[in-house]
């Protein structure tokens, strides 16, 4: 069993590609998971889709055909040519895949390093895959260790202090433009997690907020939480709001833009649109009176965030490296233990059968069977000492899985305790 991670992020793909790959609703996620799992080579699979990344984490019998299958499935889903996906993707194998998972969980690979959303998104991705019986103990154990690693990074560094998210960066950009948001009114389109965060940061910066949403139940509950500075209205009045206020933040799960030229009128003031959705919510023709910021346009603030947190990030990476080593040791130890058990079990079974045959055929007429058994055990222990030692040592060998497979083949352990069922 091998680990594989195929990653498309803000580092290797721009937003126009990410929005084609985005799995922004459960129906899309389910369809892609079923397509990926259609290969018998892929045993477990999880898909993670956020505004900054689409990642496929899998356990497979053979990495190369698994990689080709995953890229082919993503090409079918997104309409992007396979060659382009191969060229753009960061592909991590085995220890590299585990290291990347731990880095992502610890928010070290996020657009905004130290943001707190990613771990929850990762847990939800695993839960969703598990609900469809798409992932099992191998990936679940990797996530368990990744969560523990993320907790260490959070507790032992300052990297997540004063948490920052894409939503907060967008609000920070608005403050940079206006100098202050005190007394301003901002429209927030969408009452999901990103919209809620944007609304909270706007209010804490002194702005009033109007949340526009499709579902009334969700937005009513959110506005009650936000307090006196917040109000809400139906998304059916979106056109009125985008033509009445300077600041518009949008983060819905719509599969296509909801704010386009056809609903935007000329007004006597400049408007600033912050599109924090993937796929994008906003497609407007640029003009002197309209400025649109997407997730990828927030680089300056993000770079400042990276510089501020660089020292803490180095500490965090050392924690990740250590925890990855601990996980890989756990995996390798779990591989060698059943091998040693199977080897000794097989040897004892053969010895017992041969002893029974010898007794039945009269080969031990003048011998005590118990003494004969002791002698056989001594011979087996002497013979198995070196193979047992070697098998225990594979925990320290980077080719542990290959050695384990070879041992299973040589000793015919297919009916014994399986190596790929180590958890």
Residues making up the annotated binding site for substrate are: 50-53, 110, 115-117, 121
State how beta strands 271-275 and 247-250 pair: parallel
Q: Tokens 């600041």 belong to which residue? A: 247
Report the distance separating Cα 15 and Cα 25, nearest Å.
18
- For 265-304, letters b (16+ CB in 10 Å) and e give eeeeeebbbbbbbbbbbbebeeeeebebbbbbebeebbee
Q: What is the DSSP letter of 136?
A: -
| DSSP-H helix ranges across 157-252 | 166-178, 193-204, 216-226, 238-242
Extract the runs of DSSP E, i.e. beta strands, from 63-112: 90-93
Q: ∠387-388-394 over CA atoms, to 5°?
A: 90
Q: What is the helix, strand, coil percentage profile of the chain, to 5?
A: 55, 15, 30
Is 149 one of the catalytic residues? Answer: no
Q: Could you list the residues known to form a binding site for NADP(+), using ranges.
A: 190-195
Helix 137-156, helix 95-105: angle, nearest 10: 50
For residue 36, what are the β-bridge partners? Answer: none
Q: What is the DSSP letter of 206?
A: T
Report the distance separating Cα 292 and Cα 188, nearest Å.
14
DSSP 231-288: EEEEGGGHHHHHTT-SEEEE----SS-SEEGGGPPP-SS-EEEEE--SS-SEE---BT
Taking the CA atoms of residue 404, residue 407, residue 411 and residue 413 in that order, the dihedral angle to the nearest 10 degrees is 10
Residue among 51, 59, 73, 149 flagged as catalytic: 51
Q: Tokens 């929005």 belong to which residue? A: 19
Q: Could you list the residues known to form a binding site, using ranges.
A: 50-53, 110, 115-117, 121, 190-195
For residue 8, what are the β-bridge partners? Answer: 54
Active site residues: 51
């Amino acid at each position: 069993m091998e680990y594989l991670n195929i990653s498309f992020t803000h580092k290797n793909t721009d937003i126009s590609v990410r929005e084609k790959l985005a799995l922004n609703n459960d129906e899309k996620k389910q369809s892609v998971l079923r397509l990926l799992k259609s290969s018998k080579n892929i045993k477990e699979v999880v898909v993670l889709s956020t505004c900054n990344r689409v990642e496929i984490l899998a356990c497979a019998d053979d990495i190369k055909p698994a990689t080709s299958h995953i890229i082919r499935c993503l090409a079918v889903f997104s309409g992007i040519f396979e060659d382009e996906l191969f060229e753009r993707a960061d592909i991590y194998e085995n220890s590299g895949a585990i290291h990347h998972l731990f880095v992502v969980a610890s928010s070290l690979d996020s657009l905004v390093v130290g943001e707190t959303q990613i771990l929850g998104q990762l847990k939800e991705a695993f839960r969703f895959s598990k609900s469809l019986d798409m992932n099992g103990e191998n990936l679940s154990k990797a996530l368990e260790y990744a969560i523990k690693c993320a907790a260490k990074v959070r507790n032992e560094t300052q990297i997540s202090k004063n948490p920052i998210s894409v939503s907060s960066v967008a609000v920070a950009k608005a403050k940079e433009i206006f100098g202050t948001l005190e007394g301003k009114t901002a429209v927030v389109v969408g009452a999901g997690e990103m919209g809620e965060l944007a609304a909270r940061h706007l209010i804490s910066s002194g702005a009033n907020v109007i949340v526009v949403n499709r579902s009334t139940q969700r937005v009513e509950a959110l506005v009650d939480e936000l307090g006196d500075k917040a109000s809400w209205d139906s998304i059916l009045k979106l056109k009125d709001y985008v033509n009445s206020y300077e600041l518009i933040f949008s983060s819905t799960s719509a599969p296509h833009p909801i704010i386009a030229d056809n609903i935007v009128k000329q007004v006597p003031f400049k408007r600033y649109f912050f599109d924090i959705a993937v796929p994008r919510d906003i497609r407007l023709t640029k003009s002197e009176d309209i400025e649109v910021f997407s997730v990828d346009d927030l680089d300056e603030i993000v770079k400042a965030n990276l510089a501020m947190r660089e020292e803490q990030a180095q500490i965090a990476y050392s924690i990740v490296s250590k925890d990855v080593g601990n996980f890989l040791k756990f995996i390798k130890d779990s591989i060698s233990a059943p091998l040693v058990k199977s080897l000794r079990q097989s040897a004892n079974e053969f010895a017992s059968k041969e002893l029974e045959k010898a007794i039945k055929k009269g080969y031990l007429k003048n011998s005590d069977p118990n003494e004969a058994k002791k002698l056989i055990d001594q011979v087996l222990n002497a013979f198995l000492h070196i193979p047992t030692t070697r098998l225990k040592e594979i925990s320290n060998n980077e080719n542990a899985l290959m050695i384990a497979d070879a041992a299973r083949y040589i000793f015919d352990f297919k009916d014994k305790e399986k190596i790929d069922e180590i958890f």
